Amino acid sequence: MKDKFYQYIQNLQDQITSKLELIDGKAIFQEDLWERPEGGGGRTRVIENGHVFEKGGVNISGVHGKLPKSMQAYFKVGDVDFFACGLSLVLHPKNPMAPTVHANWRYFEMYDDKGEIIDSWFGGGQDLTPYYLFDEDAKHFHQTCKTACDKHSPEFYPTYKKRCDEYFYNAHRNEGRGIGGLFFDYCKANDTMSMEDWYNFVTEVGDSFLEAYVPIIERRKDLPYTQDQRNWQEIRRGRYVEFNLVHDKGTLFGLKTNGRIESILMSLPPHVQWVYDHHPKPGSDEEKLIKTLQEPKSWV
């Protein structure tokens, strides 16, 4: 399964980066191949200063070795070996009318001292973070997520949509990071789903990513905007940074397993503002966004 899924994310990385380069029309992805001293490595691809994308990364990794003590406590296990692989992407468009997007699909195995698998699971999801709210974009993104989920179970979309709203939440700000999407973790074999079934579901969601995001970026990338709107985008990006550094489990896992720091922090946008006690004007589009983020909404 680990070889099969790693092959899948290699191919998916190629598909996604090729399409994004076409959309940008100016910048291309810079590729870094890296190795982790304890075992494994990855292929980091970053795009910067493009016509459409100010910064973005589409990274894959496959790492293995002894599970660090800090993560043993987290998973409530003793001395075990692990393997983890996944694709993680974040795209920060230049135009404030175009939303930031994040996605991640991953697979994890743990082994006993004989090398036998004692646990394995899939996780992942995709979510949208707009700076200006266009209802049609939110509906399109969520409908694409729901269509992918519905092919596997009618329970998946409402369950994983709710988990996404709960997970990507800046509790210290009392607001969502964005308008959500899907978030699933610890997807293990059970009475109704084999690991093969989970593989089919996770790859279905992965394959839906471009369909979910490309029509939105195509609609918004060339819209006119003002410097004030750009300032708002940078203030909101600050909230994105806060979530990734304060709450995000993936960032924590990478830092605690001696992951490659440049790949872990590639999700951070290049231009950000923290303005003291900033509040948008009452009745403005900016306030509309804030109010939407304070209460999860059903988009489909």
Supply the CATH number for residue 271's domain.
3.40.1500.10
Q: Which domain does 258 fall in, by range?
A: 2-293
Residue 256: its pLDDT value, please?
80
Residue 85 placed within a domain: yes
Residue 227: its pLDDT value, please?
98
Q: Which residue has the tokens 């970026």?
A: 217
Residue 74: its pLDDT value, please?
81
Cβ 54 vs Cβ 270: under 8 Å:
yes
Cα torsion angle, 124, 95, 235, 141, sign = negative
Distance CA 254, CA 249 (A): 9
Residue 252 placed within a domain: yes
Domain count, the chain: 1
Longest alpha-carbon distance in the chain: 63
**Which residues are tagged catalytic?**
102
**The token pair that represents 278 in the structure block:** 């900033």
Residue 300 placed within a domain: no
Residue 299 placed within a domain: no
Distance CA 262, CA 266 (A): 6
Cβ 188 vs Cβ 121: under 8 Å:
yes
Residue 247 placed within a domain: yes
**The token pair that represents 86 in the structure block:** 């996944």
Residues 6 or more apart from 242 whose CB is under 8 A from it? Answer: 170, 172, 173
Q: Which residues of 198-218 are buried (b: 16+ CB within 10 A; e: fewer)?
A: bbebbbebbebbbebbeebbe
Distance CA 42, CA 3 (A): 14
Residue 81: beta bridge partners? 66, 111
Q: Which residues of 11-48 are buried (b: 16+ CB within 10 A; e: fewer)?
A: ebbeebbeebbebbeebebeeeeeebeeebebbbbbbe
Distance CA 67, CA 34 (A): 20
Residue 27: its pLDDT value, please?
98
DSSP for residue 123? E
Residue 239: its pLDDT value, please?
96
Residue 179 placed within a domain: yes
- Burial (CB count within 10 angstroms: exposed 0-12, middle 13-18, buried 19+), residue 235: middle
Q: What is the pTM of this model?
A: 0.95
The alpha carbon of 276 is separated from its chain's Cα centroid by a whole number of angstroms, namely: 28
Q: What are the mean pLDDT values of the chain's consecutive 10-residue runs (300 residues total)?
A: 98 98 98 93 96 98 89 84 96 98 97 91 98 98 98 98 97 96 97 97 98 98 98 97 91 80 89 96 97 96
Q: Is 68 strand, coil or helix?
A: coil
Residue 72: its pLDDT value, please?
84
Residue 58 placed within a domain: yes
CB atoms within 10 A of CB 284: 11
Residue 289 placed within a domain: yes
Q: Which residues of 118-155 are buried (b: 16+ CB within 10 A; e: fewer)?
A: eebbbbbbbbbbbbbbbeebbebbbebbbebbeebeee
